[in-house]
Every structure is written in structure tokens, then in C-alpha cells.
Structure 1
Amino acid sequence: MGWFVMAAVLMAIMYLSLVLSLAEMSSAIPSADGGYSFARQAMGTTGGYMTGLAVLIEYALAPAAIVIFIGSAVEALIGVNGIWVYALFYLVFVVIHSCR
């Protein structure tokens, strides 16, 4: 079995565990705060803080990773690449994440 398949299976197991844990906790702790509230209830204020910090880091880094991929795709499709392509798509994804 190749490394990609092993990584995909591991990620699928981790994601399934996350989804099942969130489903269980959402019935036990009804709250609109999501993962932050669950972590705060289960692990205290430090666990809630670390979860909130991780979510903020995700919201900052996920658009950057997506923008790098989109920039490469735009360059391959139409031959345009540069700071303006990255800035435009980064702004789009920051707005998408901010409007939840």
C-alpha cells in the first residue's frame, strides 16, 4: 500500500473520529459556539483557548494554501501569475471565512 493511500486512510479515520465526537458532544452540550465551547467544557479554559487559537490559525493559513494552489492553476490555464493574483484570491477567501 502506498504512502498516499495510508495517509488518506489515516485522515479518514481522524475525520470520522472528529465528526462522531462533535455529534456526541453537540447532543450533550447544546451550544452555538461549536468546537470552542466543547473544548472549554471538556478541557477547561486552557483547552478552550488552545482550540480557539487553532481555529484562528486555520482561518489565516487555509486561505493562503488555497491561494497558492489557485495561483498555480491560473498560471497553468491562462499564463498569469504574480502578487495580484494571490492578493485577489486571498481577499476572496478571507471574506468567505469572515462571513460565517
Structure 2
Amino acid sequence: MSAPRETAEPPPDPELEALTVYLDTVPLPASAGVDALLAALRETGPGPAADRIVRHRLPVAVDGYLRARTWLPWAGPDTPDPAAELGREVKQLAAELG
């Protein structure tokens, strides 16, 4: 009899961990799903799709959210909700992980 196989977790990605620490300091809406995306990225482990999300796409999405929030008092009535926009972007990024 062979021993039961243990599912090895992917090694932690230092860039993902640094991004997670930073995002813990940013006031993001829970409704955007950033925490769930970070958890999915940890489960997926390093790879081309995850690397693009961690190193570029998620930071850009968060930056866009923060900028939009900054300028919201001067935005017009037809301005999209920054939290909803971030949520849509995060949902798209999660879908790209598969």
C-alpha cells in the first residue's frame, strides 16, 4: 500500500505576499472581491496569468479605483461608481485564472 498523496500547496509568491500586505492597508470595498481574488491567486500559484495579475493588472485596477475615489467629489452625475468598476475588473481577473 502506498501512502495517501498529499496535495502540495504552491510555493508562496513573494510578489503576491507583498501586494497582499499593501492591499491590507488600502480602504477597498469588500464588495469588489479583492480578498477572494488574492485567495484564488494563492491557490493557483505562480504562472503567466497570475504573474500578470499580481505584477500589473491588479495594481493598476486598484490605482484606478483610488484615483476615481479621490476625484469623486468633482465628478459629474454620470460618473461610474468606482467600487463597481473595481468589482468588474476583479471579476474579470478572477475569470482569467480559470
TM surpasses 0.5:
no
TM-score (norm 1): 0.31
Larger of the two Rg values belongs to structure: 1
The structure whose residues are more often helix, as a share, is 1
Higher relative contact order (CA 8 A, sep 6+): 2
